[in-house]
């Protein structure tokens, strides 16, 4: 008696046993413009009450340093260009920093820098994004402060 193998089972076996995950893995690192990504956000996403200062950008004097926080966000990149997926996940990371600032009573996040795979990259104009076959990620670190009035 012959047994038939279901197509789904065959596909699963090929994926598990037939291909090394490392052979098809991709982890490209890109630097993309901060300004362009921020401008792509819809108005309701970013909080105008929490100012953002990237890298060594000048900012008003700090009245109170509240603390430093990190965020590490990922998004589905399947079927999207690296740039599109990276913009989306960058905005998610920035929003997380703004939410932290609001929660801690701050009104700005300064010295925001990329920290993808624990490699700090300081830039006033660009952020680092890691893009793979199905996932894109952005990690940011920033200092939450209250600015002097």
* Residue 88 domain flag: yes
* Residue 96 domain flag: yes
Q: pLDDT tens, 19-57?
A: 444 445 899 999 999 999 999 987 678 999 999 999 999
pTM: 0.82
* Residue 84 domain flag: yes
What CATH number does residue 46 fall under?
Answer: 3.30.110.70
**How open is the CA angle 55-105-52, to the nearest 5 degrees?**
25
Residue 107 has pLDDT above 90, yes or no: yes
* Residue 15 domain flag: no
Number of domains in the chain: 1
* Residue 65 domain flag: yes
Please give the residue range of the domain that contains residue 130: 26-147
pLDDT confidence tier of residue 73, bands split at 50, 70 and 90: very high
Residue 92 has pLDDT above 80, yes or no: yes
Parallel, antiparallel, or unpaired for β 108-116 and 51-54?
A: parallel
């Amino acid at each position: 008696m012959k047994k038939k193998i279901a197509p789904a089972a065959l596909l699963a076996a090929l994926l598990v046993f037939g291909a090394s995950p490392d052979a098809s893995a991709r982890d490209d690192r890109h630097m993309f413009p901060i300004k362009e990504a921020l401008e792509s956000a819809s108005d309701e996403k970013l909080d105008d009450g929490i100012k953002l200062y990237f890298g060594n950008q000048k900012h008003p004097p700090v009245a109170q340093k509240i603390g430093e926080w990190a965020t590490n966000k990922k998004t589905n990149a399947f079927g999207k260009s690296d740039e599109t997926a990276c913009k989306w996940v960058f905005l998610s990371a920035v929003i997380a920093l703004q939410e932290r600032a609001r929660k801690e009573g701050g009104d700005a996040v300064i010295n925001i820098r990329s920290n993808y795979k624990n490699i700090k990259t300081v830039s006033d104009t660009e952020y680092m994004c890691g893009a793979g076959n199905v996932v894109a990620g952005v990690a940011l670190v920033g200092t939450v402060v209250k600015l002097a009035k």
